[in-house]
């Protein structure tokens, strides 16, 4: 059994965590006790762990507030161009430790809590994750906020304050069961409600054509109440704002026209308005055309644009008098980035403001709109693309539909001039899709209404130009860019893997934390035995710690000397967790066949949530748990193979598992994963990647050297060729005995002895209509996994390959990504200078 970590191990001073000065620690203790005193009310004089957590959170928050106010003052005085990152998701995770890291308070807080007889790690564990996202898209937004603050950009994240975030996943009898995520139950110490900035948002109604112009009348009003969360940059005294809107019914809601005796019902009906910010839609890469979702999308956009215009008009701090009247300079002072098409209504909404409120001409309004907005595409999967029915829009947002029709009329007029008589091209490029049900293609609206369109990895951006948006690229090639995703090294290295961060800092200094390209310097140490030893030692410590965590929370004993083979991400057919399953079964069958062979022991861990309505994904989870039930209780196999489904995968679990992983599974069908960011997190934390040439894997292989990744399988061109020639799963099934054996076991009930046909839907899909061609990559995957097992037996060579990977991570910092957005899309210049701290004299 792994040795438990001693207090001394846990608390050893790590320089990357900031130095704990005596005054610092003394002040923190004083402030902690003051907050604790005000937390405890007179009828309760015994503090709970939660009281201690809130006292610590409020103590740390005190260090943010002065910087926050000063940063905002700085922006009002300097009046820089501001960027607004609009997203329906911000997957933030926990805030306490990240704030301590960015403010260099971690060691001091650790020492202060220790002197008060408390364990800081225990207190950190009380914080709920802010799970306001599904996966990659929402987590990317969170990393971007960190980088924008660390690069000194005047940036604002705007989204929705969902009362319930992504559901908590429980595994019951092997199946996923969802539980509501009541993350605000005990309050959120990091947010500040700002009722003084409440804004009205209108729905329904009708459009009236009056002599003074168009009016949108008889609408229903919902109020948007903002909650602000501070976003600290890394040790530069910058604190930006994430503003999340919550829906409130107005006081007179349903009361102006209620009938006698309807008062109680009218008050109860306030819930209908407030439902807008109740819950995050739990779909990843899937469009569900529900009215409530469209309301959410317009709600965030309408509230945010009012805020943007208000801030643009009054630039001097503390002044409410209107400074700018003319919105024609808006694009010089404002950039709006649309995170996928979810906030696409920002385009017609900005047009509505400019036309109906500011009385601009169409030409002037359109010029302002397109120069302000930019659009990031996140997927090429057709089922994920948003297409809103026109009858839904007509009912909910009649003025916006009129504007969309006019945008489309002018757009098609331009295309018709460029391609006379090409009716099919007009049909393909229209914002309006005709059919049984007329729909608005939101991606087309975004492209036409933006000055820049980007994909999120080079291969993805190339696919957009060659396929999905080919017609648009031919007309406006200058609009199309690539911005390969990145991750913040603060959360994804310094915070979650301080041991590794320190080993690196001992060799190349600490500056790499804000300039990740400096990791290249590690290449000079690739043959250095002491670095090889230190990196292997940190990995082993992380594995021991995670083994202890698994034993405590999952009651499973695992072999910490086995290879930790990990696939954590949303469960989706295109991510091919099923390919992983087939490898597990094949490995199991081989061990059973030759039990005396010297097998490389593996602990295979798979985690991730399935959308509640996605039957196949839920069945995939059941298959993984079923395989685990058989494999883990087979005494012949012993601890040479274990299969674990990691329940309730979320940001905080990622921070534990990624530093402990040896092998990262990135095995989507080539051409389906737009970028991936988990792949980058594993690479930075010293895992090796087995993957296809998809998404950012392509650029990872380029940066680290393809020989330092385990690349296998079809490339995009091979997949395209197979789409043309036809994919015949039965051919592989009949030709490859080990594949046939594995499929027959799944189909025959070997893994479901109580219900032999439990997995018939998966078997039928794989054999007869598998869009993602699992069998086509099976042989290459198995062979590649054999190479992985062989290298793992040579720890020194394995660790050298790890060093090559870490050294190649520089490109994958979100600081690099954001610098490119800033310079190439937003027209802003990032800066690494520190602004004065609150206690520094003013300039």
Catalytic residues: 378, 569-570, 575, 677, 681
Residue 23 has φ and ψ, to the nearest 5°, of -65, -45
Q: Exposed, middle or buried: residue 37 (CB in 10 Å: 0-12, 13-18, 19+)?
A: exposed
CA distance 147 to 652: 19
Contact present, 568 and 649 (Cβ < 8 Å): yes
The alpha helices in 613-675, defined as continuous H runs, are: 615-631, 651-657
Residue with tokens 């994240």: 157
CA distance 840 to 843: 9
Q: Exposed, middle or buried: residue 174 (CB in 10 Å: 0-12, 13-18, 19+)?
A: middle
Q: Exposed, middle or buried: residue 45 (CB in 10 Å: 0-12, 13-18, 19+)?
A: exposed
3-state secondary structure of 403: helix
Q: Exposed, middle or buried: residue 718 (CB in 10 Å: 0-12, 13-18, 19+)?
A: middle
CB atoms within 10 A of CB 416: 14
β-strands 663-666, 688-691 pairing:
parallel
Structure tokens at 118: 């408390």
CA distance 277 to 695: 33
Residues facing 373 on adjacent strands: 336
End-to-end CA distance of the chain: 58
For 179, 303, 666, 818, the CA distances from 622, given in Å and listed in that order, are 18, 42, 21, 39
For 122, 247, 463, the CA distances from 473, given in Å and listed in that order, are 53, 39, 11
Residue with tokens 């002599």: 211
**Sign of the Cα pseudo-torsion (418, 453, 72, 829, in order):** negative
In 3-state terms, the chain is what percent helix, strand and coil (to 5)? Answer: 50, 15, 35
HSE on the CB side for 755, CA within 13 Å?
Answer: 6
3-state secondary structure of 172: strand
């Amino acid at each position: 059994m792994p040795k438990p970590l001693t207090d001394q191990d846990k608390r050893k001073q790590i320089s990357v965590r900031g130095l704990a000065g005596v005054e610092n620690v003394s002040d923190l203790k004083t402030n902690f006790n003051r907050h604790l005193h005000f937390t405890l009310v007179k009828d309760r004089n015994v503090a709970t762990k939660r009281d201690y957590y809130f006292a610590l959170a409020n103590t740390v928050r005190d260090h943010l507030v002065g910087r926050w106010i000063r940063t905002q003052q700085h922006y009002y005085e300097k009046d820089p161009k501001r960027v607004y990152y609009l997203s329906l998701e911000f997957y933030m995770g926990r805030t306490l430790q990240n704030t301590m890291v960015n403010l260099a308070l971690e060691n001091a807080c650790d020492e202060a809590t220790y002197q008060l007889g408390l364990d800081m790690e225990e207190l950190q564990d009380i914080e709920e994750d802010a799970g306001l996202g599904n996966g990659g898209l929402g987590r990317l937004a969170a990393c971007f906020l960190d980088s924008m603050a660390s690069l000194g950009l005047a940036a604002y994240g705007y989204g929705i304050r969902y009362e319930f975030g992504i559901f908590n996943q429980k595994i019951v009898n092997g199946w996923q069961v969802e539980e509501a995520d009541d993350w605000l139950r005990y309050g959120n110490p990091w947010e500040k409600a700002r009722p003084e900035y409440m804004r009205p948002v209108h729905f329904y109604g009708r459009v009236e054509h009056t002599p003074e112009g168009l009016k949108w009348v008889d609408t229903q009003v919902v109020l948007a109440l903002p909650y602000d969360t501070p976003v600290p940059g890394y040790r530069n005294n910058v604190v930006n704002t994430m503003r999340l809107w919550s829906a409130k019914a107005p006081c007179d809601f349903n009361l102006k026209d209620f009938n006698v005796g309807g008062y109680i019902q009218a008050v109860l009906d306030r819930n209908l308005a407030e439902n807008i910010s109740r819950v995050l839609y739990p779909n990843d890469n899937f469009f569900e055309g529900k009215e409530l979702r469209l309301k959410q999308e317009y709600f965030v956009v309408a509230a945010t644009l009012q805020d943007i215009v208000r801030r643009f008009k009054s630039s001097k701090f503390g002044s409410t008098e209107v400074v700018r009247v003319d919105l024609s300079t808006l694009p010089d002072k404002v950039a709006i980035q649309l995170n996928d098409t979810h906030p696409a209504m920002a385009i017609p909404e900005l047009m509505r403001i400019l036309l109906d409120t500011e009385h601009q001409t169409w030409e002037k309004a359109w010029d302002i709109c397109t120069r302000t907005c930019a659009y990031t595409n996140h997927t090429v999967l057709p089922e994920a693309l948003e297409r809103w029915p026109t009858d839904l829009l007509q009912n909910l947002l009649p003025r916006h539909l009129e504007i969309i029709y006019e945008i489309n009329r002018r757009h098609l007029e331009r295309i018709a001039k460029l391609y006379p008589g090409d009716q099919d091209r007009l049909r393909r490029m229209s914002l309006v899709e005709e059919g049984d049900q007329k729909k608005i293609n939101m991606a087309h609206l975004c492209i036409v209404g933006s000055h820049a369109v980007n994909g999120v990895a080079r291969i993805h951006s190339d696919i957009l130009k060659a396929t999905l948006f080919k017609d648009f690229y031919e007309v406006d090639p200058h609009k199309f860019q690539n911005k390969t995703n990145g991750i913040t090294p603060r959360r994804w290295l310094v915070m979650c893997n301080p041991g590794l961060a320190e080993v690196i800092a001992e060799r190349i200094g600490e500056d790499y934390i804000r300039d990740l390209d400096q990791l290249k310097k590690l290449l000079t140490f690739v043959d250095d035995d002491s670095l090889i030893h230190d990196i292997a030692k940190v990995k082993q410590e992380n594995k021991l710690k995670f083994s202890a965590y698994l034993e405590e929370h999952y009651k499973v004993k695992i072999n910490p000397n086995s290879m930790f083979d990990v696939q954590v991400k949303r469960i989706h057919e295109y991510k091919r967790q099923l390919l992983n399953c087939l490898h597990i079964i094949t490995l199991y069958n081989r061990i059973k066949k030759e039990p005396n062979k010297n097998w490389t022991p593996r602990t295979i861990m798979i985690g991730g949530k399935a959308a509640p309505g996605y039957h196949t994904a839920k069945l995939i989870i059941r298959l993984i748990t079923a395989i685990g039930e058989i494999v883990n209780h087979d005494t012949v196999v012993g601890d040479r193979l274990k299969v674990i489904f990691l329940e309730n995968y979320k940001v905080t679990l990622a921070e534990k598992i990624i530093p402990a992983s040896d092998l990262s599974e990135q095995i989507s069908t080539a051409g389906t994963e737009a970028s991936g960011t988990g792949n980058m997190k594993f690479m930075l934390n010293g895992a090796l990647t087995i993957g296809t040439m998809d998404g950012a894997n392509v650029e990872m292989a380029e940066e680290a050297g393809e020989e330092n990744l385990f690349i296998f399988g079809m490339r995009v061109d091979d997949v395209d060729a197979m789409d043309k020639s036809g994919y015949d799963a039965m051919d592989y099934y009949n030709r490859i005995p080990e594949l046939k054996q594995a499929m027959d076991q799944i189909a025959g009930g070997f893994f479901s002895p109580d219900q032999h046909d439990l997995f018939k839907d998966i078997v039928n899909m794989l054999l007869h209509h598998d869009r993602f061609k699992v069998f086509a990559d099976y042989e290459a995957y198995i062979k590649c996994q054999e190479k992985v097992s062989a290298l793992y037996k040579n720890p020194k060579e394995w660790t050298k390959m790890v060093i090559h990977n870490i050294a190649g991570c520089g490109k994958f910092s979100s600081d690099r990504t954001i610098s490119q957005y800033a310079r190439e899309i937003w027209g802003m210049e990032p800066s690494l200078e520190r602004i004065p701290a609150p206690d520094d004299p003013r300039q």
